Chain A
Amino acid sequence: MAYALQQLINGVSLGMIYGLIAVGYTMVYGIIGMINFAHGDVFMVGAFVSLITVLLLGIGGGAAGPGALLLVLLAAMAVTALYGWTVERVAYRPLRGSFRLAPLISAIGMSILLQNYVQVAQGARVKPTGTLVPGGVTLMQSEGFNVQFSYVQMLICVVTLGVLAGFTLLVTRTPLGRAMRACEQDRKMAALLGIDTDRIISLTFVIGAALAAVAGCMYLLRYGVIDFYIGFLAGVKAFTAAVLGGIGSLPGAVLGGLLIGLIETFWSAYFSAQYKDVAAFSILILTLVFMPTGLLGRQEVEKV
C-alpha cells in the first residue's frame, strides 16, 4: 500500500512533465494540423535557459528561494517563447500552403538544428546543478517503508496544474482563445471574419514554447542533470502522450501524459524495468486499435 502510494507519486510527477510538453504538440496540431517535431528540443532549450539563469543568479550550489525560482521560471518562459516564435516564423510559415510533408521535414530539420546548436554552444557533456529544492515530507510509514513526497514533486504538481488551469481559461474565456478555436475549426473562415490567422498561429507557438519552458524548468529542478539530447526522449514520450489522449485535445494531452508516466512507473515497480517502454507503447497501440482518435479525441468530420 505504502509502496504503491510512493510509486503513484513518482508516476504523477513524471506524467505531469510529459503532459506539459504534450500540450504543445496537441495545440499546434489542432491549429495547423502538423506535428511540430522540434517541440521536444524547444523543451530542451527551456531547460538550458533555466540552467543558465540559475547559474547567472548564482544559486546553482544548493537550495534556492521562491523568488529566485520564479525568476528562473519567467526567464525560461520568455526566452523559450522567443525560440518558439522564431521557429515558426523561420521554418513553418514560409511553407504554409505547400504540400503536407514540407513543414514536417522542416520540423525535423529544426529539431536537429536546435540540438546541434545547443551541443556546439553549450558542449556535449551533461550539465548538473545542485538540488535547488531540497527536502520533502514523509506522508506515511509502514513496515519500515517511508512514503516520501518531496517539495519539488509538490512544486511540479502545483505549477503544472496552475499553468494548465490558466491556459484553459485563456482558451475558453478570452478573445484570443476564441480566435484560436476559430482557427482550429476553419482557418479560412476565421480569416474571412477578420482574424489575423498568422498572428494567432504565432501566438500558439509562443504559448506552446512557454509551456515547454515550464516543463524544462521543472525537469531541471527535479532531476538536476540535463544535456542537449534530453529533448528527443522527452519529445517522443510527450508526443505519444498527445496521441494517446487524442491529438488536438488539451485535456487529452494532460491525461495522456499522466497515463504514460503512470504506466512506465508502475510497470517498473511491479514488472521488469527494461520492458517499461514496451509496455507503454503496447498500450498506445491497443488504444489506437480500438479508439483511433485517442482517448478524448474527436472524430474528424469529412467536410463536403
Chain B
Amino acid sequence: MFTRRLMLGAAASGLALPAYAQNRGNPIRVACAGPMTGSNAAAGDQMKIGAQQAVADLNARGGVLGRQLALSIEDDACDPRQAVSVANKLAGQRVAMVAGHYCSGSSIPASAVYREEGVLQISPASTNPKYTDEGGWNTFRVCGRDDQQGQVAGAYIARVFKEKRVAVLHDNSAYGKGLADETKKAMNAAGKQESIYSAYTPGERDYSAIVSRLKQERVEVIYVGGYYTEAGLIIRQAKEQGLNATLIGGDALVTNEFWSITGAAGEGSLMTFSSDPRKRATAASVVQGFRARNVDPEGYVLYTYGAMQIWAAAAAKAQSVDARKVADTLKRQGPWNSVLGSTAFTPKGDVTVPDYVFYVWRNGTYAEM
C-alpha cells in the first residue's frame, strides 16, 4: 500500500514538474533527434554539432524571450519504431521544438506523435514529400523536397541532354520511385521523352541484364532514383560492358561511398543536392566560429543550426514558445534570416524557394557545378 502511494506520488510529481518548468523562468527545452548510432551516424553527428552550437550561440545572446535554452539530444538510429519512442520521450519532456529527424522514414511517424502532443518539428534533412503533405500544422523543413529535386533534374536533362537518349530507372522505394517519377514528369513537360523507364530490384549486385538493355537502347544518360550502392553498381557495370553513359542521381549519391564503389567509372556522374550553405555570406561568421574550433560545418550542420535559429526568431516574434503560435507565425510571417539565408515557408511547412543545384564527381570528390 505504502509503495503504491509512493509510486502514485512520484508519477504525479513527474507529470507536474515539466509544466512547472515551462511556466517559471526556467530554461526552454528544445531537442535534436536523429541517427546518433547506426549506418547514418555521420549525419546524426552533424545534426548534433549544429544544434549544440546554435543553442550555445542563442544562449550567449540572451536566449529566447529572456529565457535560456536547454538542449536534449536523442537517437532514433533511423529506425521508425525507435523514432516514435524518442518522440514520446521528448513530448514527455515537454520540449518546445524538435530539430529532426534525419531519415524521412523516421520523421514521418514521429511527426504524428509531435502533432498530438503539441510539439513543433523542423527537419533539416527529410526530403520525402509525404512528411509535410500528410503531416499536420507542426511539420516544417529547411531542406528541399524530392519533387522539387526532380523538377530541377528533369529540367536540366531536358535542356542539356536534349539530343541524347535518356533512361529513367528507380528502385521502387518511396524515395527512389518518387524522385524518378518527378524527374520524368518535369522532363516530359519540357518536351523530352525518355527512351526507357524501368525499375530494378535494390539489394542485388547483378545489374548486367538491365545494363545490356540500356546498351541495346543506345542510352547515353541514365537517371537513377535510388541509393548510392545500386546506382554505383549500375554505372560500374555499364562501363564494364562498354556503355559510356552519364549517370545522374539525387541527394542519396552525395557520399564518398559512391566513389569507393564506382572507382573511375563514377567520373563525371551528376547529382542534385542543396547548394553548399557554407559558401553563403549569411553563414560566414558562424562558419568561421566552427572552423576556429577545427570543426568543418559540412552536410547537415548548418541546416540544423538554421532550423534552431529560425525557430528562435519566430518564437521571439510570436512572443511565445507555444508550438501552435510559433507554427502560425512561421507560416504567415517571415522571411526568416538565418545561416541558410532568407527562408520563408509555404502553408504546408516547406521552404518556398527550392534550392537544388548540380554536383559533379571528379577524381573521387564532388563539387558544385
Cα of A177 to Cα of B232 in the assembled complex, Å = 44
Measured in the bound complex, the distance between the Cα atoms of B242 and A34 in whole Å is 44
CA distance A7 to B172 in the complex (A): 23
Beyond A126-B257, A265-B209, whether A131 also contacts B200 by CB under 8 A is no
Given A223-B233, A225-B229, do A128 and B260 touch, yes or no (CB 8 Å)? Answer: yes
State whether A230 and B205 are in contact (beta carbons under 8 Å apart), knowing that A130-B263, A144-B218, A146-B242 are contacts in the complex. yes
Chain B CB within 8 A of A287 CB: no
**B241 near A: Cβ within 8 Å?**
yes
A276–B236 alpha-carbon span in the complex (Å): 22
Interfacial chain A residues near B39, Cβ < 8 Å: 124-125
B212 at the A interface (CB under 8 A):
yes
A202 within 8 A of B: no
Within 8 Å of chain A (Cβ to Cβ): is B252?
Answer: no
**Complex Cα spacing A126 to B216, Å:** 30
* Complex alpha-carbon distance, A128 and B265, angstroms: 13
- Enumerate A207-229 residues with CB–CB distance to B below 8 Å: 219, 222-226, 229
**Smallest CB separation, B101 vs chain A (Å):** 19
CB of B174 closer than 8 Å to a CB of A: no
Interface residues of A, CB < 8 Å — how many? 39
- Chain A residues with CB under 8 Å of B232's CB are 128, 225
Contact of B261 among A13, A126, A222, A273 (CB under 8 A): A126
Check: B198 CB closer than 8 A to any chain A CB: yes
A229 to B261, CA, bound (A): 17
- Say whether, besides A3-B216, A7-B209, A14-B208, A277 and B240 are in contact (CB < 8 Å): no
Given A7-B212, A138-B242, A144-B218, the answer on whether A274 and B257 have CB atoms closer than 8 Å is: no
Q: Would you mind naming 21 contact pairs between A and B with Cβ atoms under 8 Å apart?
A: A3-B216, A6-B215, A7-B209, A10-B212, A125-B257, A126-B261, A128-B260, A128-B261, A128-B263, A148-B241, A150-B241, A222-B205, A222-B206, A223-B206, A224-B236, A225-B229, A264-B209, A273-B199, A273-B200, A274-B200, A276-B201
Nearest 5 pairs between A and B by C-beta? A268-B209, A274-B199, A10-B208, A223-B205, A265-B209
Contacts A3-B212, A138-B242 known; list 10 others, CB within 8 Å: A126-B257, A126-B261, A128-B260, A128-B263, A225-B232, A233-B203, A233-B204, A265-B209, A268-B213, A274-B199
